Chain A
Amino acid sequence: NAGVTQTPKFRILKIGQSMTLQCTQDMNHNYMYWYRQDPGMGLKLIYYSVGAGITDKGEVPNGYNVSRSTTEDFPLRLELAAPSQTSVYFCASSPHSGGAENEQFFGPGTRLTVL
């Protein structure tokens, strides 16, 4: 299993440009998440999904969009990039369990700079 994979690893955008960050998991997890991590800070939830076709906003959704057409893929779309979106973006997934063990598995991250 590759786990959670993200592409690209690095990207530089100009203000106003758009891009899609890709995320794929091969663990058949229902739940998927997008976080951003600013320098020296913890992770903040952007969007999450509890299954194909179902998405919802997290703490900081403004300026982003998501879709979930398959269990495996959860792309994050940035429209009209702004310098405030300079950050490291992490995708994660977790199994749907009614029990206690529902840890999230993280991808390696995408480092995005908006100039």
Chain B
Amino acid sequence: EDQVTQSPEALRLQEGESSSLNCSYTVSGLRGLFWYRQDPGKGPEFLFTLYSAGEEKEKERLKATLTKKESFLHITAPKPEDSATYLCAVQATTKAAGNKLTFGGGTRVLVKP
């Protein structure tokens, strides 16, 4: 069974204090690993897709990396507007039909000014 575990559950940062979020996964065959951002009371918003170990993607202060067992979301010099819950999800090759995703529990990030 596909599993996704995110850590930590919650993260409090000072503005400018860089940190990393972890997403560990077990999947029969990885088709893609997805990162989403979710603001309170809203639906998840797509950030990145990673497909193979060693791949990296960046968007503003966010950088996502991928290994064979985990992914990291690095937040560099965060600002208060980066406060959100960050969700990780995997898509397995065996479940490619319908592009189904298995989500982790998320990491709630709070950036204080």
Contact = CB atoms under 8 A, between A and B. Distances in A.
B49 A42 contact: no
Contacts of A45: 100-101
A94 B99 contact: yes
Interface of B: 4, 6, 9, 32, 34, 36, 41-46, 49, 51, 87, 89, 91, 97-101, 103-106
Contacts, number: 64
A74 interface: no
Interface of A is mostly: strand
Contact of B100 (A42, A58, A108): A58
A90 B44 CA distance: 9
Interface of A: 4, 31, 33, 35, 40-45, 48-50, 56, 58, 90, 92, 94, 96, 100-109
19 contacts: A40-B9, A40-B106, A42-B6, A42-B87, A42-B103, A42-B104, A43-B44, A43-B87, A43-B103, A48-B98, A58-B100, A94-B99, A96-B99, A100-B49, A103-B34, A103-B49, A104-B34, A104-B101, A109-B43
